[in-house]
Amino acid sequence: MKKTGKDEEAHSILLRLINSIIHINRNQKVGLISPYYEVETVIRNYIGLVDEPIYETFVDNSYSLGSLVTLVARYGLRDFLASKWRPITHIQLSEFIPKYSWETFLYRAEHGKLETKFPNQTQSWSRLVEEANKINEKELPKGLKEYPQFIVLLWLVFPHRMRLILVKFFDKIINEA
């Protein structure tokens, strides 16, 4: 959308996504289900048709909020982020980082670590923008560096592989095209 001059619409979608994550975590106290559950299980859970109930809690945890905040910083939407920073700092940001970059292409990576962290309660805008624009391409799987158009396909099939490094790299590629 940004490439076609629809910056306001693109930003609006991004901001609504962040507002929704904040609302479902902080107001509704439900959270979004982990991307490690199958789509069918997620749908069945929400309509009450699961064989075994999911007792895991998802409140105040997000696998996508960190990427969305990074995009907001990359696009210079400081006022919005400042107005939402307090509730954002109460939501834990989670990301699974495969030990070997090729394991990005596996549904279940055998090696790696789940990193979780809360955003700093006070955050320098310039530092946030600097981090948002820093991309260590050595962390990227070779195939996705060479064929970045496959990143979107990867996310469609493996939404749990939507890593921050891939979001930043894909955004860079799109904006340079």
Write the DSSP symbol of residue 127.
H
User: What burial letters (b/e) apply to 65-100, b meaning 16+ CB within 10 Å?
Assistant: bbbbbbbbbbbebeebbeebbebbeebbbbbbbbee
Residues of the chain predicted below pLDDT 70? none
**Whose structure tokens read 């962290």?**
117
Pull the structure tokens for residue 162: 């939507």
Closest to 119 in 3D by CA, of 92, 141, 97: 92
**d(C-alpha 9, C-alpha 60), whole Å:** 27
Amino acid identity for residue 36 in this structure: Y
State pTM to two decimals: 0.89
pLDDT score for 17: 95
